[in-house]
Amino acid sequence: MLDAIAKRCSVRSYLDRPVPEADLQQILEAALSAPTANNVRPWHIVVVTDADKRERLSQVSQWGYFCAESPVVLCFCGDTDLQPVAWIEDCSAALENALIQAAALGLGTCWVGVRGEDPADPERQALVRDLLGIPEHIRVLALVSLGYAAGETQSKPAGPMHAIHRETW
């Protein structure tokens, strides 16, 4: 597991090569195995392979331009009717599991935030919701580009240990 975590890095350039369905299924299964508050499991994942939709998703955020060239975009969403308080944490755990499983399979990913405190958040939510037919009570957390990295990837070492505190600050 630590090897997969260490290999995970943000990939912003992809080969024009499809992701095998078996690999995609493993990634989705990993996501759906994430911990969740009170076992509510509020997550929903929209798998997008259509080139036109990926192109439009790439325009949702200035940071997601590479979604157009990744063969798959995963849209992580949360049902706020089921989990109004912890949907963000639950969906983030599912998303991180997907990122780690993708790295273990030799695939590249990049997390593109859609939900946030940015004033453009409602506009981004509406764009993704309209494009993918997402119901109104479902919130969009993030997009994840997925595919084979074009070129070498560079993982980053773990953060500095001075961020760890024991017993008190």
Q: What is the mean pLDDT of residues 107-124?
A: 82
Please, what is the average pLDDT of the chain? 93
Give the pLDDT confidence of 119-149 residue by residue, as tens digits: 667 888 889 999 999 999 999 999 999 999 9
Range of the domain at 102: 2-151
In total, the chain counts a number of residues equal to: 169
Q: Could you tell me if residue 159 is inside a domain?
A: no
pTM of structure: 0.93
| CA 42 – CA 91 distance, rounded (Å) | 7
Nearest to 99 by CA among 113, 109, 112: 109
Domain holding 60: CATH number? 3.40.109.10
Q: Could you tell me if residue 169 is inside a domain?
A: no
pLDDT given for residue 20 in this prediction: 98
Q: Could you tell me if residue 130 is inside a domain?
A: yes
Q: Could you tell me if residue 105 is inside a domain?
A: yes
Q: Could you tell me if residue 68 is inside a domain?
A: yes
| CA 67 – CA 58 distance, rounded (Å) | 5
Q: Could you tell me if residue 160 is inside a domain?
A: no
Q: Could you tell me if residue 22 is inside a domain?
A: yes
Q: Is 128 in contact with 140 (CB distance < 8 Å)?
A: yes
Q: Could you tell me if residue 156 is inside a domain?
A: no
Residue 31, token pair as written in the block: 């996501």
Give the chain's domain count: 1
Give the pLDDT confidence of 4-31 residue by residue, as tens digits: 888 899 999 999 999 999 999 999 999 9
